[in-house]
Amino acid sequence: MDVRFEAEVFVWRGPAPFHWITIPDDGCDLVRAEAAQSSYGWDAVPVRVRIGATEWETSLLPRDRGYVLPVKDAVRRAEGVERGVTVCVELSVAPRGGRQADRTGPTF
């Protein structure tokens, strides 16, 4: 994984409430450096993520001149993560095309 950081989980109550993690500034710098080769639209950036023992693929979304990471309920349940908890996140920007070329990467 290219970047490792600790951040707090929060709930963003949009049309569909979801749990999120804000990527810190130094992590956003790495994402921006690789986004031109990876982004597939709407400035979304495909990534491979690990929290605890759970690893999955998703996409970062732009927010407030940075990026946020969605954390699926299945991941939260597997790792016992709730809103307000600080977690250790490992993250790598995925190649263009999003998920692995053979589409076999875990979607959790």
Confidence of residue 80 (pLDDT cuts 50, 70, 90): very high
Residue ranges of domains in the chain: 3-93
Whether 30 contacts 3, CB under 8 Å? yes
pTM of the model: 0.81
Whether 1 contacts 55, CB under 8 Å? no
CA distance from start to end of the chain: 18
Quote the CA–CA distance of 49 and 68 in Å, as a whole number. Answer: 12
Which percentage of the chain shows pLDDT scores above 70? Answer: 78
Confidence of residue 15 (pLDDT cuts 50, 70, 90): low
Q: Where are the beta strands (DSSP E) in the chain?
A: 3-12, 18-22, 45-51, 54-63, 66-71, 86-93
| Per-residue pLDDT tens over the stretch 34-71 | 877 665 666 788 999 999 999 999 999 999 999 999 99
Return the CATH architecture of domain 3-93. Beta Barrel (2.40)
Coil, helix or strand for 75?
helix
